[in-house]
Amino acid sequence: MSKQTLAPLFKLEENKREPKVINGFYQKDIISVNQFTKDDLAYIFARADEMAEMAQRWGTCDLLKGYTLACVFYEPSTRTSSSFIAAMERLGGKVIPITEGIQYSSVSKGESLIDNMLTLEQYCDVIVLRHPEIGSSASAAKYAHVPIINAGDGAGEHPTQALLDLYTIQSELGKVDGLKISMIGDLRYGRTVHSLTKLLAQYDVSLRFVSPDTLRLPLDLMNDLIDRGINVRETSRVSDVIENADVLYVTRIQKERFTDLLQYEEVKDFFEITPELMTRAKEKMIVMHPLPRVGEIHYKIDRDPRAAYFRQVQNGMFIRMALLAAVLGQA
Amino acid sequence: MSKQTLAPLFKLEENKREPKVINGFYQKDIISVNQFTKDDLAYIFARADEMAEMAQRWGTCDLLKGYTLACVFYEPSTRTSSSFIAAMERLGGKVIPITEGIQYSSVSKGESLIDNMLTLEQYCDVIVLRHPEIGSSASAAKYAHVPIINAGDGAGEHPTQALLDLYTIQSELGKVDGLKISMIGDLRYGRTVHSLTKLLAQYDVSLRFVSPDTLRLPLDLMNDLIDRGINVRETSRVSDVIENADVLYVTRIQKERFTDLLQYEEVKDFFEITPELMTRAKEKMIVMHPLPRVGEIHYKIDRDPRAAYFRQVQNGMFIRMALLAAVLGQA
Amino acid sequence: MSKQTLAPLFKLEENKREPKVINGFYQKDIISVNQFTKDDLAYIFARADEMAEMAQRWGTCDLLKGYTLACVFYEPSTRTSSSFIAAMERLGGKVIPITEGIQYSSVSKGESLIDNMLTLEQYCDVIVLRHPEIGSSASAAKYAHVPIINAGDGAGEHPTQALLDLYTIQSELGKVDGLKISMIGDLRYGRTVHSLTKLLAQYDVSLRFVSPDTLRLPLDLMNDLIDRGINVRETSRVSDVIENADVLYVTRIQKERFTDLLQYEEVKDFFEITPELMTRAKEKMIVMHPLPRVGEIHYKIDRDPRAAYFRQVQNGMFIRMALLAAVLGQA
């Protein structure tokens, strides 16, 4: 039976799928915070605002109808994968979730990550990739023909987290310039702190770094901030920054970082955000946390309107909606 | 680039998503069978009937277009999670399936279940939760801002199973009042038997309990039935009830419940439903089972029109469709 | 509250879901390559062509709106499950992905595979099944009331792989008749080679089999080809076939097949496709591989237009779209 004898299934002359907005993001990979200019950030944030309004009003829409996302997680991260899946689905796109059965193999040893990308891109229009090795997303982006969005490459980057953090500051406080922002916790190893700090360095902000002595911000990052003329200070007690802070960005301090557990017990209380401490904070300020928390923020603070960490989670979905739509030429 | 300079992505004045049916279920949690009145049950069953007709005729619809479900399973249960996923998808809603990568942690020890709920609710409009600890769904419902549907909390409740069981009786036999219903198997530990029994106690039914001596219905449940004036009898042989039963509700007897395996071997045949036994049953009656079975119902009975256990599975999907639509204000 | 007092949720007289194309595939199981005639193949390939055009132009469509697929994988296979999921989603159908929480149990020992099928079919219109045991799909098809599509039954069959392989040959080279096709690698245990060979035996082709001595094509398969009058030759070096081949179908040689590793090291290079080797190949020919590869095809060949193995992956999605639509009466 030849094709000619068949009644055609589709009227293909109708409604070709086409990019509608071609800008700096169209078909681009999202790998690192370093690739974003202030204009880029303003653009994505404006689109995220629209996504928030749409989600509030309609819940879902058809903006990415016709497009498919492969959401590839080589290590589990429920919060991040759920956020991307929700983002794509709310835009009317399809999702292929891939979180198991992937045989992990070092990018350096074999090439199976690349072969997997070249395989999966046959099914989809964009790939979100989480992989435990630094540089994995950049490698994937080098070979893949569809946009790669880095959803965390080990100790490397997690750019959408930094974008959502910055977007939360802007959407909660109406601006970024002029703010006093305190980063609290493990500033040495904390990937989210490093990435957010890099983005903030593009703005006129004052940064306060609150950490145990052994977990201070890395020297090169600190020097870079000073070179850029950012107003920076370091301290080891939240109580030193609580009164002036517009933003408290709280992160976990992992016990495992301390060789001496007594030392951990000694310092950990200096970094807990308690209701008592919050009485000294400004009326208009926010508490953020990349989550999950393990005691750094007291549960009673959840009901404080200044607790922004769950709204921060939702902002992540809006930012990812904006990015997905942008790289696919629909925003 | 400011928002004002962008061509807007959406015409948001159109089609606001709104609750269309506001009743006792709207925005409510579904935690326990105890929360359902007879009127509630009649309402959900009537809606489930409509769901069944719709599924039969259209397959899927757009009733929950714009709504998103997070289906969160801390322990695997293919049958239940598939049923909820199918239910939401058939109603045109989106699903975020979350079945892995969740770090299990005791509700009592930490608060991570609650934090997970407060996180995931940022992405969705309703959460289905399966968790191995009694009371987990009630805790989640206390803190979450979206409706929680309990899909099993350990030895606690699994209310949608009880609803689908009761719905199956009504839809197969046209009524519940006046029926003779026999519960068979492990009546001591069987969660489904306890929940269904509680629901049946609202009706005018005769209940027969068939179990080994060591696996009889708990005393408090039995006393409660007697107090309510329900006609109850206990026996240890299915042959005692087969002739009069309108419903045989069969459950597994787990070998592990017996300290003496000889005792298990002695009694187990008294509880097997065989084709021979079925020749003595009424022409119009049904055999039910919450599944999976492991030998309690002979495979030859599958072809007997009185075997209702696979239709019972499908009824579960219709009941869940009705509940999802009801808590979201669309039924 | 009775059904009569409720405002109905649906206008069910509208748009009944119905089969639109009733042919030899409607409601049929897809279990083995042996069930396909040459006409069947031509039909499915013509439909796959339409799917490719649709995907290229629209991305997704509504052909299978109203239909639901249960994608049941008892063992992980990311490439195959993703392909089916993408296929169903691109056709506007719903997918219930089931890849975990299934308790594996021998088909012979228990009947749980069958009970699982009879359960899951209550939620869906078609089941894709991957199961590690030979004959599992045939057993499932015997009892299930919805079409079963075999996505691999252990050492048995994987018919959609063979169909996509043959479709790739036809769509890349415009025909199958008259071609010289070389199968390379482990021809003894390679399931994909066996299935593709059976399909090719329906055409007027010349087959070349290139393998180590211990991994030659099974005797019964070879004899069957000879009986059918197919022109066949065997060799142990790719260099013997490279100049005349229209198709090189390359497969892995697993080290584990060799009791003597020295022997493996001795022969393996005879089967690697290198850029150097490709300089001797025809200008119009293709290199195929069922993937994943582990060194049989040099990475530099990826950029050679004759490298068809990633397009082959995409063809898998088109073939599965065609099959899903056909068994559901929509193509």
CB–CB contact A59 B125 (8 Å): yes
Closest Cα in chain B to C109: B294
DSSP string, C69-88: EEEEESS--HHHHHHHHHHH
Asked if the C-beta of A301 comes within 8 angstroms of chain B's C-beta atoms, the answer is no
Instruction: Give the H/E segment covering residue A326.
Output: helix A309-327
Give the residue among C112, C75, C247, C272 at the shortest CA–CA distance from C171.
C247
Tokens of A286: 């926010």
Contact B15, A58 (CB under 8 A): yes
CA C301 to centroid of chain Cα atoms? 23
Distance from C-alpha of A142 to C-alpha of A136, rounded to nearest angstrom: 10
Q: Which residues of A touch C89 (CB under 8 A)?
A: 68, 94-96
What pLDDT shows up at residue C105? 44
Residue B126, H or E segment: strand B126-131
B218: tokens are 């708990």
Kindly compute the dihedral angle of the four CA atoms of residues A58, A59, A62, A66, in this order, to the nearest 10 degrees: -170
Cβ contacts of A176 on chain B, cutoff 8 Å: none
CA–CA separation, A203 and A169 (whole Å): 12
In the structure, what pLDDT confidence band is assigned to residue C266 with cuts at 50, 70 and 90? confident
Nearest Cβ partner of A8 from C50, C293, C294? C50
- Output the CA–CA distances (angstroms, integers) from residue B17 to A56, B328, C134, in the order listed: 9, 11, 50
Other CB atoms closer than 10 Å to residue A63's CB: what's the count? 22
Q: B20-157+315-327: which CATH topology?
A: Rossmann fold (3.40.50)
Average pLDDT value for residue range C172-197: 96
Interface confidence: ipTM more than 0.90: yes
Q: Give A242-265 as a DSSP string.
A: TTT-SEEEE----GGG-SSHHHHH
Q: Which amino acid is at C282?
A: K
To probe the interface with A, which of B107, B116, B119 has the most A CB atoms within 10 Å?
B119
> What pLDDT sits at residue A294?
86
What are the residues facing B149 on neighbouring strands? Answer: B30, B128
Please choose, from the candidates B316, B274, B327, B286, the residue with its C-alpha nearest in 3D space to the C-alpha of residue B48.
B316
pLDDT over 60 (residue A92):
yes
- B303 shares contact with chain C (CB less than 8 Å): no
Residues of chain B with CATH 3.40.50.1370: 20-157+315-327, 160-313
Q: What is the 3-state secondary structure (H, E, C) of A67-133?
A: CEEEEEECCCCHHHHHHHHHHHHHCCCEEEEECCCCCCCCCCCCCHHHHHHHHHCCCCCEEEEEECC
Q: In Å, how far is A124's CA from the nearest CA of chain B?
A: 19
| pLDDT score for C112 | 87
Token pair recorded at residue B28: 């409510």
Written in H, E and C, the secondary structure of B27-70 is CCCECCHHHCCHHHHHHHHHHHHHHHHHHHHCCCCCCCCCCEEE
> For domain A160-313, is the CATH number 3.40.50.1370?
yes
Kindly report the nearest CA distance between residue B245 and chain C, in angstroms: 25
Tokens of B24: 């006792």
Phi, psi angles (nearest 5°) of residue A5: -80, -5
Most distant CA atoms of chain A, gap in Å: 81
Task: State the Cα–Cα distance between residues C123 and B80, nearest whole angstrom.
Answer: 11
How big is the B-C interface in CB pairs under 8 Å? 101
* Interatomic CA distance for residues B159 and B154, integer angstroms: 12
Alpha carbon distance C331, C324 (integer Å)? 8
Q: What are phi and psi of C140, to 5 degrees?
A: -60, -45
The verdict on whether A80 is a catalytic residue reads yes
Task: Tell me if residue C79 is catalytic.
Answer: yes
Query: A111 pLDDT exceeds 70?
Result: no
> Could you say which of B1, B98, B111 has the minimum Cβ distance to residue A43?
B1
Residue B7, classed as helix, strand or coil, is: coil
- Residues A48-61 as b or e (16 or more Cβ within 10 Å = b): bbbbbebbebbbbb
Interface residue of C41, C43, C82, C313 to substitute, partner A, most A CBs within 10 Å: C82
Share of chain C residues as helix, strand and coil, in percent rounded to the nearest 5 = 40, 15, 45
Q: Does this model's pTM top 0.90? A: yes
Question: Which of A73, A82, A293 is closest, CB to CB, to B120?
Answer: A82
Contact (CB<8Å) C59/A68: yes
* More confident position, A308 or C5: A308
CA atoms lying within 13 Å on the CB side of residue B3 = 13
The arithmetic mean of pLDDT across residues C241-256, rounded, is 93
Residue C199 CA to its chain's centroid (Å): 12
Q: Report which of C196, C209, C208 is spatially closest to residue C170, judged by C-alpha positions.
A: C196
A267-291 mean pLDDT = 93
The whole-number pLDDT of residue C236 equals 92
CA distance C17 to C25: 18
- Between the alpha carbon of residue B246 and those of residues B89, B170, C212, the distances in Å are 34, 11, 67
Above pLDDT 70, what percent of chain B? 95
* Cβ atoms of residues B147 and B25 within 8 Å: no
Predicted local distance difference test score (pLDDT) of residue B4: 55
A74: nearest Cα among B140, B53, C119, B101: B101
- Mean pLDDT, residues C114-138: 96
Q: Catalytic pick from B17, B38, B65, B79?
A: B79
Residue C59 CA to residue C276 CA, distance in Å, equals 38
The mean pLDDT of A146-166, rounded to a whole number, is 96
Residue span(s) of chain A under CATH 3.40.50.1370 come to 19-158+317-327, 160-313
pLDDT, tens only, A299-313 = 999 999 999 999 999
Rounded alpha-carbon distances, angstroms, from residue B157 to B34, B43, B161, B190: 10, 21, 9, 11
Residue C38: per-residue pLDDT: 97
Taking alpha carbons only, the member of A239, A250, A312, A309 closest to residue A279 is A239
Active site residue B99: no
Strands of B68-73's sheet in order across: B94-98, B68-73, B126-131, B148-153
pLDDT band at A178 (very low <50, low <70, confident <90, very high): very high
Average pLDDT over chain C, rounded to an integer: 93
Reported as a pLDDT band with limits 50, 70 and 90, residue C310 is very high
Report the DSSP pairing between strands B180-184 and B247-250. Answer: parallel
Angle between helices A309-327 and A78-90 (to 10 degrees): 50
Give the sign of the dihedral formed by CA B257, CA B262, CA B268, CA B274. positive
Chain C residues near residue A6 by CB distance under 8 angstroms: 43, 46-47, 50
Residue A245 C-beta-side C-alpha neighbours within 13 Å = 29
**Angle, vertex CA C291, rays to CA C290 and CA C295, nearest 5:** 120
Residue of C nearest to A103 (CA): C78
Residue C1: pLDDT band (50, 70, 90) is: very low
Count of other CB atoms within 10 angstroms of residue B236: 15
Residues A276-298 have a mean pLDDT of 96
- As its CATH architecture, domain A19-158+317-327 has 3-Layer(aba) Sandwich (3.40)
CA distance C67 to chain B (A): 6
Full DSSP string of C140-201: HHHH-SS-EEEEEETTS--HHHHHHHHHHHHHHHS-STT-EEEEES-TTT-HHHHHHHHHHT
Are the CB atoms for B207 and B183 separated by under 8 Å?
yes
Q: Is C160 marked active-site? A: no
Q: What local confidence, expressed as pLDDT, does residue B111 receive?
A: 59
Tell me: cis bond preceding A292? Omega within 30 of 0 counts: yes
Q: How many angstroms separate the CA atoms of C159 and C182, rounded?
A: 20
Q: Kindly report, residue by residue over C188-206, the tens digit of the pLDDT.
A: 999 999 999 999 999 999 9
pLDDT surpassing 70 at residue B176: yes
- How far is C107 from A5, CA to CA, in rounded Å? 43
| Bond from prior residue into A159 cis (ω within 30 degrees of 0) | no
- Residues C327 and A189: their CA atoms lie apart, in Å, by 54
Segment A189-237, tens digit of pLDDT: 999 999 999 999 999 999 999 999 989 999 999 999 999 999 999 999 9
pLDDT the model gives residue C101: 47
Contact C82 A125 (CB under 8 A): no
Taking only the tens place, the pLDDT of each residue in A31-58 is 999 999 999 999 999 999 999 999 999 9
The answer to whether C112 faces chain B, any CB pair under 8 Å, is yes
Average pLDDT on A18-23 reads 94
Asked whether residue B115 carries a pLDDT value surpassing 60, the answer given is yes
Q: Does B310 touch chain C (CB under 8 A)?
A: yes
Out of 3.30.9.10, 3.40.640.10, 3.90.1170.50, 3.40.50.1370, the CATH code matching C21-157+317-327 is 3.40.50.1370
Listed in sequence order, the residues at least 6 apart from A200 whose beta carbon sits closer than 8 Å to its beta carbon are A166, A176, A181, A207, A230
> For position B107, what pLDDT does the model report?
42
d(CA C148, CA C139) in angstroms, rounded, equals 10
The 3-class SS string of B215-284 reads: HCCCHHHHHHHHHCCCEEEEECCHHHCCCCCCEEEECCCCHHHCCCHHHHHHHHHHHCECHHHHCCCCCC
pLDDT score recorded for residue C303: 96
The residues with which A96 forms a beta bridge, in sequence order, are A70
Contact B179, B173 (CB under 8 A): yes
